[in-house]
Amino acid sequence: MADSHNDLLLACMHRHERGVADPFGDDWLPGLRAGGVVFQVLPIFTEEQFVGEAALRRTLEIIALAREITEIHKTDVAIVEHGADIDRVIDSGRIALLLALEGGEPVGSSISMFETLFRLGVRMASLTWNRRTMLADGTAESGTGGRLSSLGVEAVTEMDRLQMVLDVSHLSAAGLEHLAELTAGSFVASHSSCRALCDHPRNLTDAQIELVAASGGFVAINAFGPFVSETAPTIDGFVDHIEHAAGVAGDGRVAVGADFIDDLVRTVDPILGRQLLVDPSDLSLIEGLKAPADFANLAPRLVERFGVRRAARFASANMLDFFRAAVP
């Protein structure tokens, strides 16, 4: 399995700050191994209490923790900074980790920070989370009809120069269209499901899925329950989203971005605010698909539905092919 969104660095940071010496080794590494994960994107998210000038400091602290994790567990994991690193790491029996930025808060108004973060190993970034940043509006602000700001336009140009992968999962509808007009490069939706199957504002319409696919990127389906079904979400319902996205984008443009949140809400202080776009007291989760170890339950369902060859594309091959080519 390859997964383009797991907030485990944030959860590790909170446990580390509470005195746990090795939360990654205690909790997440065994689950990644049990789920057969060979490639994991690790987003760095800015919590509400760090929005503003504290965002960059917090981001640097989390990057430092990621480096510490890979040093402690260097026989099991490695951060990849070049496409050529991916196969080398996986072939050695380790899990390849790729650092990403979820939201432009750490950049603020300083576009030069993208190059600084790139030098520190960040290879993918989104301009927004659900909230507004100085670069663009997030999904929670789609009602404004806002496109990218002039600073956001500069950010896209800079990210294209660096060959830092653009992630549009939390970008407003108008912002996504604007970004598609600006960049000649590929962009991805790292953790978004299909609005045709579940009418949630965090999901992508078929037209948006087509934009991502036309750029040469991929749409990675999100396993968070409220994005999968308006009723009781199931693994088969999650697979339905994969099937629908493949019908729109093509088999080569669909992947998995599970966004497992169960570990996160049990570990991190619940300061996600109203912009989470779901009721925090009613977090609907997919039974049997709540954590990385549960990929062991997903894999056979993919094979049953699609056959071995197509299942392998959705499970990992599409994402690995993309990052091999996209990361310089």
Q: Which of 282, 200, 195 is nearest to 244 (CA)?
A: 195
Average pLDDT over residues 57-76: 98
Identify the three-state secondary structure at position 39: strand
CATH number at residue 265: 3.20.20.140
Average pLDDT over residues 20-39: 96
Is it the case that residue 113 has pLDDT exceeding 90?
yes
Residue 41's φ and ψ, nearest 5 degrees, are -80, 135
Q: Which amino acid is at 252?
A: G
What range does the domain containing 68 cover?
2-326
- Kindly state the tokens that stand for 233: 């979400």
pTM recorded for the entire structure: 0.95
pLDDT at residue 143, as a whole number: 85
Average pLDDT over residues 92-100: 98
d(CA 138, CA 171): 5
Q: Which residues, 6 or more positions from 179, have their beta carbon under 8 angstroms from its beta carbon?
A: 127, 136, 148, 156, 166, 168, 171, 187
Q: Which residues, 6 or more positions from 24, have their beta carbon under 8 angstroms from its beta carbon?
A: 8, 12, 69, 72, 73
Number of domains in the chain: 1
Q: Which residues pair with 219 in a beta bridge?
A: 189, 254
The DSSP-derived string for 144-207 is: G-----HHHHHHHHHHHHHTPEEE-TTB-HHHHHHHHHH-SS-EEBTT--BTTTS--TTSBPHH
Band of the pLDDT at 171, cuts 50, 70, 90?
very high
The DSSP-derived string for 243-261 is: HHHHHHH-GGGEEE-----
Band of the pLDDT at 269, cuts 50, 70, 90?
low
Tell me how far CA of residue 63 lies from CA of 36, 93, 205, in angstroms. Answer: 24, 23, 33
Q: What is the dihedral of CA 25, 30, 33, 39, to 10 degrees?
A: -40
Is it the case that residue 272 has pLDDT exceeding 70?
no
pLDDT at residue 210, as a whole number: 98
The tens digit of pLDDT for each residue in 124-145 reads 999 999 888 999 999 988 888 8
